[in-house]
A = this chain, B = another copy of it.
Amino acid sequence: MFEDKNTSKTPLDNLGEFALIEALTKSVKHENKSSVLGIGDDAAVIDHNSKQTLISTDLLVEGVHFDLSYMPLKHLGYKAVMVNLSDVYAMNAIPTQITVSIAVSNRFTLEALEEFYAGIDLACKNYKVDLVGGDTTSSTTGLTVSITAIGVASKDKIVPRSGAKENDLLVVSGDLGAAYTGLQVLEREKAVFQVNPNTQPDLSPYTYSIERQLKPEARKDVIELLDELKIVPSSMIDISDGLSSEILHLSKSSNIGFHLFEEKLPMDPEVNLICEEFKFNSTTAVLNGGEDYELLFTISQKDFDKIKNHPLLTVIGHAVEQNAGCQLVNGLGHQIELTAQGWQNFSEKED
């Protein structure tokens, strides 16, 4: 589906592990003073002085989390980093280093892996994060990527999932659902391509959604904005599995319920159009789609004036007492209990 202009092909079995690591990491440069020692020793050394260190890790498996038939390797590298940085931002912290481990089968060439690392490299540059270590090994099948992100924050700025209080406002950044609709479009085009490889799909009506699926951005800007506005959220999480699932996490960790207002859910108009075309319910796409990598957080009501009408942020509900549970309230005032139908790996993805 994507034309491959890469002409040089070096099989991995012509290289040893160390030659491969050298080839893939030769362009690595450090941007953070705290990166004392990086790739090439038994461990990386990080000097965070008196700040607290944060650590987050994600494992991405070909055929489960990504499909290389429509996900270019450079985008995959970029997205794999975003997934982890998003977790660090969701603690109201600043990511500073990452490690990248890959298990890769012989079907990949050095040039393919260089594309993947070019995506990682770009993500590191855009977010001023240093690649300081990792592991490279063979796999019997496919590609597995494990990324660990390290970050820093001062003690009084860290925001866990557990601090939401009754009457706090529930706020989300950006808009939701587009990563999911983008995935639906890509899956459909893949099916069409398999039937007729000469089809040239017109993807222009789906640009925003496809970009949200293939090249998401972590919300560094939102963390910077909260800092400028002198807001420390009472709880925060990033939206990887879907809005419903994340609200339930905040609810469980904070021992609190939530009312979520359907008419407040922020959605790009393209999401509505694709949902109509595919005959989906757009609210379901927003609640359960996942992979938006937006930030979901609670703030005290006294901070409302600071964020009111800000284009990046939308108040979508508020915290209520625990026994009220987590309810979606629709335009007619009806309440529907939220359930986690997001990313349930074992039951849904392997059928």
Contact = CB atoms under 8 A, between A and B. Distances in A.
B42 A138 contact: no
A326 to B, nearest CB: 15
Contact of A17 (B17, B150, B346): B346
A134 interface: yes
B43 A91 contact: yes
A44 B56 contact: yes
Contacts of A36: 52
A238 interface: yes
Given A103-B61, A146-B59, A138 B345 contact: yes
Contact of A47 (B40, B52, B346, B350): B52
A93 interface: yes
A57 B148 contact: yes
A313 B46 CA distance: 30
Contact of A41 (B136, B137, B160, B344): B160
Given A40-B253, A46-B53, A61 B135 contact: no
Contact of A55 (B46, B93, B158): B46
A341 B150 CA distance: 34
Interface stretch (A94-102, A114-122, A268-276): A94-102
B55 A43 contact: yes
Copies in the complex: 2
Contacts of A43: 54-56, 87-88, 90-91, 93, 149, 151
A134 to B, nearest CB: 6
Overall SS of chain A's interface: mixed
Contacts of A41: 91, 160-162, 253
A139 B61 contact: yes
A47 B152 CA distance: 10
A345 B238 CA distance: 36
Interface string A153-172: 00100101110000000000
Interface stretch (A8-16, A25-33, A189-197, A317-325): A8-16
Contacts of A144: 59, 61, 103, 139, 144
B45 A52 contact: yes
A266 interface: no
A16 B140 contact: no
A215 to B, nearest CB: 21
A281 interface: no
11 contacts: A16-B345, A17-B345, A17-B346, A18-B340, A42-B56, A44-B56, A57-B148, A61-B103, A61-B137, A105-B350, A106-B350
Interface of A: 12-18, 20, 36-37, 40-50, 52-65, 86-88, 90-91, 93, 97, 99, 101-103, 105-106, 132-142, 144, 146, 148-151, 155, 158, 160-162, 236-238, 253, 340, 343-347, 349-350
